[in-house]
Amino acid sequence: QLTLEEVRMLVELFYLPYHHGPQAQHLLEHFRWLRANSLSVGIPATAPDACEGTRWRSRAQSFQLLCAQTCRLHSRFVSSAGRALLYDLHPYLWDIRNMLLAASAFVRWLGCQSITAPMLLGGDAEPWARRGGLFGELQALLPVGNSCDLFYHPPPLFPSSQLYLLRPLLPLDK
């Protein structure tokens, strides 16, 4: 069964068409701040303003936890929801999960930067290329420019709670 907190998260992710619930707003605020302050990651720990880099990493870790909670929500929803509700809501939850995985990977990439040079974060896409809601706002913050078709990954026809681990080929596999 889904917990009350997980149901609340589900509702807040898809609150209203032009308003976000508190959880989604929190995700967006974290992501905007991390993107805007990514230059502070490359500051050496011995520098006088090294606390900015520590603050950035702390907020990045908090953002990663929020993304992980959403991914956990998806897997728990798939395994516990009634079939009719699952088939109605799964495409939306699938999309937001995949978008948050991309945002999480982008934040991890920003955290690996060791230089403080500014980076170019993509251009504006055509207005009709982006979708609305939390998905569209997160997509607009990612540096993909006009490559919005990168995010078209349709959900499986039959939702499954089975997970697969992809790993590189090892010598023991021969």
Model confidence pLDDT, tens digit, residues 33-90: 998 888 777 655 556 666 777 888 889 999 999 999 888 888 888 887 677 888 888 8
Most confident of 27-36, 71-80, 138-147, 159-168: 27-36
Does 26 or 153 have the greater pLDDT score? 26
Tell me the CATH architecture of domain 4-38+49-115.
Up-down Bundle (1.20)
Q: Which has the higher per-residue pLDDT, 153 or 86?
A: 86
Concatenating the DSSP letter of every residue in the chain gives ---HHHHHHHHHHT-BTTB--HHHHHHHHHHHHHHHTGGGGGS-TTSTTTHHHHHHHHHHHHHHHHHHHHHHHHHHHHHHS-HHHHHHHHHHHHHHHHHHHHHHHHHHHHHT-----------PPPGGGS--HHHHHHHHHSS-TT-GGGG--PPPSS------------GGG-
Name the more confident of 41 and 162. 41
Residue entry with tokens 């936890």: 65
